[in-house]
């Protein structure tokens, strides 16, 4: 599902955003030469939990966003927004299957 091309349509922002764990690994762990084990320990979470995030099998919870902001310094909001954009992209894939009536043309 992540390897679609589909750049031919109206080209809304269909960018298939990377899951935040991918960004986390490339922007935080690798530059600092951190192992998954060491980073998980610093974040105060289990290695399993961090591994799940890094490999896209878990999302960044609000609390995790705060942890990341403490450890790596970026704002918790930026971490959480990455997750939100990713979750929203997934939900949008199913938009046409939702049975909803328009109530306003706002």
Partner DNA sequence: GCAACCTGTAACGATATAGGTTACGCTACG
Partner DNA sequence: CGTAGCGTAACCTATATCGTTACAGGTTGC
Q: Which of 14, 23, 28, 36 binds a copy of itself (CB under 8 A)?
A: 28
- Determine which residue in the list 23, 58, 71, 76 makes contact with DNA, applying CB under 7 A: 58
d(CA 40, CA 37): 5
Q: Report the C-alpha gap between 76 and 61 in whole angstroms.
A: 10
Among DNA, a copy of itself, none, partner that 66 touches (CB below 5 to 8 angstroms by kind): a copy of itself
Rounded distance between C-alpha atoms, residue 81 and residue 78, angstroms: 5
Phi, psi of 24 (to 5 degrees): -60, -45
* Contacts to a copy of itself by CB under 8 A: 1, 28, 32, 34, 39, 42-44, 61-63, 65-67, 70-74, 76-77, 80-81, 84-85, 87-88, 90-92, 94-95, 98-106
């Amino acid at each position: 599902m992540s390897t679609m091309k589909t750049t031919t349509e109206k080209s809304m922002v269909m960018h298939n955003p990377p899951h935040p764990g991918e960004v986390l690994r490339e922007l935080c762990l690798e530059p600092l030469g951190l192992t998954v084990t060491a980073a998980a320990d610093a974040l105060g979470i289990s290695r399993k939990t961090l591994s799940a995030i890094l490999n896209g099998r878990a999302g960044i919870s609000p609390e995790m966003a705060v942890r990341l902001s403490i450890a790596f310094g970026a704002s918790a909001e930026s971490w959480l927004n990455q997750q939100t954009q990713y979750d929203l992209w997934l939900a949008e894939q199913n938009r046409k299957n939702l049975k909803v009536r328009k109530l306003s043309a706002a």
